[in-house]
Structure 1
Amino acid sequence: MDDERCVHRRASTSRGCVMNRTIRWALSTVVTVAILWTVAWFGARWWLGDTLHKSVADLQARNGITVECTDERIGGWPFRLVLTCPGGLGVTLPDGGKLQTAGAHGEGQIFNLHRLDFRFDAPTSYTAPDGRRLDLAASDLTASIGFAKGQANRLSLKTVDLSATGPLAGGTEGKLTMGRGDLLLARTTEHPDDADLAATVDGLNLAVGDTALTPLPVRLTLAATLAQADMATAGPAALAGWRAAGGRLTLHRLAAELGGATLTLNGEGTVTETGLIEAEGQVTGRDLNALAASAAAGGVSLTPELAGLVMAFVLMGTAADDGGRSIGLRVENGVVSANGREIGRLAPLF
């Protein structure tokens, strides 16, 4: 009816009618888009909740790890997906140990449903199976979870200025500090049951009581592949089945750098039917003389353990291609040997 009236009116009035029709069309378009977007957002919200719950259930079934997000909420409309655990986030390991945070906040984008970034609220703590409590503090503690085919397939952890303090098994107070730490676990595309591990730790310091085990800050880097990863992380009781399924840890590189010296280790390992570690690898020391010089320059002395390690390379090591000293390590039936000489024994894992 309004359009019919506009036809019989003057030109100026007709122009106003056209404008009104344009405004009505624009408003109806905005409302339609808003409705469709809201439907899409709630669909993404449902998908995220369903995927997370399935991943948590799968983690518990495969690994025996329980994750509890207290008072779980998912919001963030219109452009974000925000998962919050206002009552805290708890992760219980198969051995009974538990990691607890005061709260957790995960955020993703509706345009990218394959990633969720978390930050954790202090205080954070780890309670060992025997009841000992380890308090954790960091200026930044975050995680990122990647999803593919409806399951979590990638986990990245980052921390800055981390400190962990608490009683050790013997009752002595222990303390660990690090400047920055990064850990990545990702399932391999070719073998979904396996996982690649990569880690970097900068400025690592360890102390037991008043004794510093690392007189100089240590930088650690790790690259490894864990076959049958789900079974390997399900606790000691699952290791027998892990071995039977072909479980193996391949250490591509583990490097420790301190005071200008570098130690690198590579090799492979598994467990025997009786729970004993079985492994073989090579450890190489480079620029070991710089370690003592750096310690002296910093006004500290090497611990007996580090001094003994340097002497072991001097006395037992063979010349490596790059000028370092190399020692072959082997663990068989619980017996640890270096270049064929027994240096210790390990207890069974189960």
Structure 2
Amino acid sequence: MTASEVSSPRRRSRLVLFLIALVVLIAVGWAGAWVYAANRVEKELDAWIEREAREGRVWACAERGLGGFPFRLQLNCATPTLDTTSGDKLHITTTSARATAQIWSPNAIRAEFTSPARIQNKETGEVFGAHWDSLTMNGVGDMGGRPQRAALQARGLRVEQIEEEDTDASPLASFAELDLESSLVPANAGGPEDVSYSATIKGGSSPILVLFGEKGPVDLSFTGVVTAAADLKPMPLEQRLRAWAAAKGEARITQFTLSSPSVAVTARGTLSLDPQGQVNGNLNLGFAGVQQLAGQLSAAGIIPEGMAPMVGALAMVGQPADVDGRRGVSFPLAFKDGRLNLSGLPVGRVPPAF
């Protein structure tokens, strides 16, 4: 056997040992990087909880654990709770939650929640329950942890009001599908940021609608932008509206469509509030099935029987239009200092928002 033939197996052995050592080093390094990232996430999570508490939202877990090795960061939270200490004072709890993020993209988070949830208004004592087949939330934040985009998706969502005895529940609404999305839009000249939004509801129903003679199902979709609306701190509605009016915010409705077997409504336009809470702006409102709706409301006793023909006559004021694929009418609505004009005719005043 020649010297070269002897050295060849030795070189192969050294190569195999080198590759094994390299794999071990990579595995150890990756494990160390994961542990570092997990510790970083724990610290960032604690800092985020502190920031949220200062904003009036107190989050807690009965038990919290971090896992997901080797490629994910997964936070498991048993019995998560949320208490709002300003605005509407609520206590919200659900069974469990799981939030995951890829280790190379920790600011993109997907959260899944286990049904059911319980919502208590600590001021009024009212208690509500929510059940769902699936409920997920996706969010993307900046490096400081501030949310930039968020999306909520629910399937088979049912909402009910729970009586004091905690044994009876009154159904309030149900949705086959519910999708909500929002994102921050940078404002000009360093002013308050805007929020773009969209929502889709499919297969909605409610006992309240049945009282109005509408069994459903109801579908809803809308998109638009609310300017100067990026302050996410909990606060009373009146305070929020005052702050929004002071910032000269606008609600721009790009598309709004509501449809049921008997009625369809569309809208687009822009609305705002002045410092006195008066509504200003313009809306183009489309309506199909107004006469049938008036008959349903009359039969349900919601409006006097003699008013149904008057509501039908109101449709004569509008212009023929296609409303979500149905024959209907459109009405231009104009708001000026709280005064409402319908197709150029003065109708009355809208109560101030605050």
Structure 2 residue matching 1:160: 3-state secondary structure: strand
Letter in structure 2 aligned against 1:87: T
State the shift of 1:190 in Å: 5.4
Q: 1:329 aligns with which of 326, 333, 345?
A: 333
Structure 1 232/153 Cα, relative in aligned 2: closer, same or farther at 3 Å?
closer
CA distance in 1, matches of 2:20, 2:141: 37
**Which residue of structure 2 aligns with residue 5 of structure 1?**
none
Q: 1:346 aligns with which of 331, 334, 351?
A: 351
Q: 2:77 aligns with which of 77, 80, 85?
A: 85
State the shift of 1:247 in Å: 2.0
Letter in structure 1 aligned against 2:133: S
Are 2:241 and 2:353, in contact at CA under 8 Å, matched by a contact in 1?
no
CA distance in 1, matches of 2:58, 2:271: 28
Matches within 5 A, 1:104-123: 104-123=97-116
CA distance in 2, matches of 1:53, 1:250: 37
State the shift of 1:286 in Å: 3.9
Structure 1 residue matching 2:231: 3-state secondary structure: helix
Structure 1 246/334 Cα, relative in aligned 2: closer, same or farther at 3 Å?
closer
Q: 5+ unaligned residues in a row in structure 1: which ranges? A: 1-7, 296-300
TM-score (norm 2): 0.78
State the shift of 1:118 in Å: 0.8
CA distance in 1, matches of 2:174, 2:313: 28
Are 1:215 and 1:302, in contact at CA under 8 Å, matched by a contact in 2?
no
Letter in structure 1 aligned against 2:246: A
Are 1:157 and 1:184, in contact at CA under 8 Å, matched by a contact in 2?
yes
Structure 1 59/325 Cα, relative in aligned 2: closer, same or farther at 3 Å?
farther
State the shift of 1:239 in Å: 2.8
Q: 1:162 aligns with which of 157, 166, 174?
A: 157
CA distance in 1, matches of 2:268, 2:309: 21
C-alpha distance after superposition, 1:278-325 (max 9, x if no partner):
4431211246679899x9xxxxx88857x7897375244233488631
CA distance in 2, matches of 1:54, 1:315: 60
**Which residue of structure 2 aligns with residue 27 of structure 1?**
20
CA distance in 2, matches of 1:189, 1:206: 38
**Which residue of structure 1 aligns with residue 195 of structure 2?**
195
Q: How many pairs are equivalent? A: 332
**Which is further off, 96-105 or 47-56?**
47-56
Letter in structure 2 aligned against 1:117: R
Q: What is the RMSD of the two structures over their aligned residues, measured on CA atoms?
A: 3.7
Structure 1 84/313 Cα, relative in aligned 2: closer, same or farther at 3 Å?
farther
C-alpha distance after superposition, 1:168-215 (max 9, x if no partner):
9xxx94510111010001112456711100010001112139736632
Are 2:115 and 2:133, in contact at CA under 8 Å, matched by a contact in 1?
no
Percent identity of paired positions between Structure 1 and Structure 2: 20
CA distance in 2, matches of 1:309, 1:41: 70
Q: 1:74 aligns with which of 66, 81, 96?
A: 66
CA distance in 1, matches of 2:82, 2:328: 45
